[in-house]
Amino acid sequence: MENEVYQRILSESNKKKLEKTLSSAEDLAAKSIGYPCNFAFDYSELLPFFSYSFNNLGDPFNSSNYRLNTLDYEREVIDFFADLTDMPVDERWGYVTNGGTEGNLYGLFLARETLPEAIVYYSEDTHYSIGKALRLLNMRCIMLRHQKNGEVDYEDLKESVKIHRDLPAIVLATAGTTMTGAVDNIKIIREILKENLISDFYIHVDAALSGMILPFVEDPQPWNFSDGADSISISGHKFIGAPVPCGVVLAKKSNRDRVARSIEYVGALDTTLTGSRNGLSPLMLWYAINRDGKVGFARKVKYCLGVADYALNALNKCGIPAWRNKNSNTIVFPKPSCDVLEKWDIAVYRDIAHIITMPSTKHKQVDALVNDLLDYPA
C-alpha cells in the first residue's frame, strides 16, 4: 500500500549485540566510581513519551509554531534552579541544555556579547571544555595558576587584572573543579576586580556538580547569583541522574536580550545555542524535581558527603594519603597501579586520582576499592 510503512525486524545477531551491551552496562556501572554519574534513577513512568518527537524550539519562556513540546515543564525546571541559586526574580531566565559544556559555552557567549573587548580569566583547573569554548568564540584569555587544593590562585588573578586594568574582565569561576572539587570564591573575585577599579566585568560559574550540593549545605562557599554570578551552568545527569546528558544554564534576562532574534519560520524567539532542543530532558528533570523535591535532594547530599567521609577515613586508615575539599564529594588520593585502573573507572590526572561519591555510590563499593588498592599497590 502507498501509505504503508515498511518495517524490518532486527536480526538475531543485532538483538544479541544489544543484550550484551545491556549486560555489560550493569557491570561497568558498578565499577564507575571516579566520575560524577548518578545511576540511581528511574524514569520508567515517562516511557510512553518516547513515542513522540518532543522538540523545544526557541526560547522556553515564549511559544513556537511547533506545539509538540515540553516548554511548560522546562519553565518549571528553570524556576526550581533559579530558587536554588538565589537568582533575582526580575532577571530569571535560562534553558535546559545538553550538559555543562553547552552551558559554559552559552555563558561565555553572553559575556562576549555584553563585553566584547574584555579579557577572559580562567584557572588551569577549569573544565577542558572552557579552552574549546574560548577558541570557538575567539576570545582573548589568560590562564591563571591554581592553589594546591585546586582553587584559583587569587594572587595570580590580582596581578593579571592589574596589568590589564584598562580592559573589561570576564572571569570563569568553577564551583567544584574536575579533579579536586574545589570552589572558586566569587566574592573574593569581585573584590579583586573592584580593587583594581574594573567596573565592567562578568562572572560565569561552572557549577556542573557542586551546583546541586552547595544549596543544601550549612556553610556554602560564595558561588551563586546573590554572591555576584552573572550566569551559572549546572549539570542534570550528574547529581540528579538521567539516561542522557543534560543540564541547565541560568542567565540574567537583561543579558539574554542582547542575543535574542525573532525567527519567522518557527514562530519563536531564538535565544539558545541550538535550534531544535531535546524536549525529553526537561521532562526528566521536572519528574526528578517533583519526585524528590528540595527535601529529597538535601537528604541525598547528606548521604553523598557521609559516604565521602567514610571513604576518606577508610583510605587514611590504610595508610593511603587521601583528602577532600570543604563541601565536596570528591576524594583525592595518589594515582593507583595499572591493575586497579584496569578494574575500576577512576579519573586520574598526572600523579593524583579521585573517586566521587554519588547518590548511587554504596559503602561496599568503597570497601572493595580500598581492598584492591591494598592488594595492588602503586
pLDDT digits (tens, 9 = 90+) for 133-156: 999 999 999 999 999 999 999 999
Position 65 scores a pLDDT of 87
**Residues whose CB is less than 8 angstroms from the CB of residue 75 and which lie 6 or more positions away in sequence, other chains included:** 60, 61
Q: Both ends of the chain: CA-CA distance in Å?
A: 67
Amino acid 90 reads: D
Asked whether the predicted pLDDT for residue 5 surpasses 80, the reply is no
Mean pLDDT of 185-202: 97
pLDDT tens-digit map of 213-225? 999 999 999 999 9
pLDDT tens-digit map of 79-130? 999 999 999 999 999 999 999 999 999 999 999 999 999 999 999 999 999 9
* Domains of the chain and CATH, by start: 12-41+291-375 (3.90.1150.10), 72-263 (3.40.640.10)
Position 9 scores a pLDDT of 84
pTM here is 0.95
Using H for helix, E for strand and C for coil, what is the string for the chain? CCCCCCCCCCCHHHHHHHHHHHHHHHHHHHHECCCCCCCCCCCHHHHHHHHCCCECCCCCCCCCCCCCCCHHHHHHHHHHHHHHCCCCHHHCCEEEECCHHHHHHHHHHHHHHHCCCCEEEEECCCCHHHHHHHHHHCCCEEEECECCCCCECHHHHHHHHHHCCCCCEEEEEEECCCCCCCECCHHHHHHHHHHCCCCCEEEEEECCCHHHCHHHCCCCCCCCHHHCCCEEEEECHHHHHCCCCCEEEEECHHHHCCCCEEECCCCEEECCCCCCCECHHHHHHHHHHHHHHHHHHHHHHHHHHHHHHHHHHHHHHCCCCCECCCCCCEEEEECCCHHHHHHCECEEECCEEEEECCCCCCHHHHHHHHHHHHHCCC
pLDDT tens-digit map of 296-321? 999 999 999 999 999 999 999 999 99
Binned at pLDDT 50, 70 and 90, residue 336 comes out as very high
238 is written with which cell numbers?
A: 550528574
Residue 233 appears among annotated catalytic residues: no
What's the chain's length in residues? 378
Position 1 scores a pLDDT of 46
- Candidate list 32, 328, 337, 360, residue with the active-site label: 328
> Which has more pLDDT, 303 or 7?
303
pLDDT tens-digit map of 258-286? 888 876 666 678 899 998 999 999 999 99
Position 266 scores a pLDDT of 64
Asked whether the predicted pLDDT for residue 52 surpasses 50, the reply is yes
Binned at pLDDT 50, 70 and 90, residue 63 comes out as confident
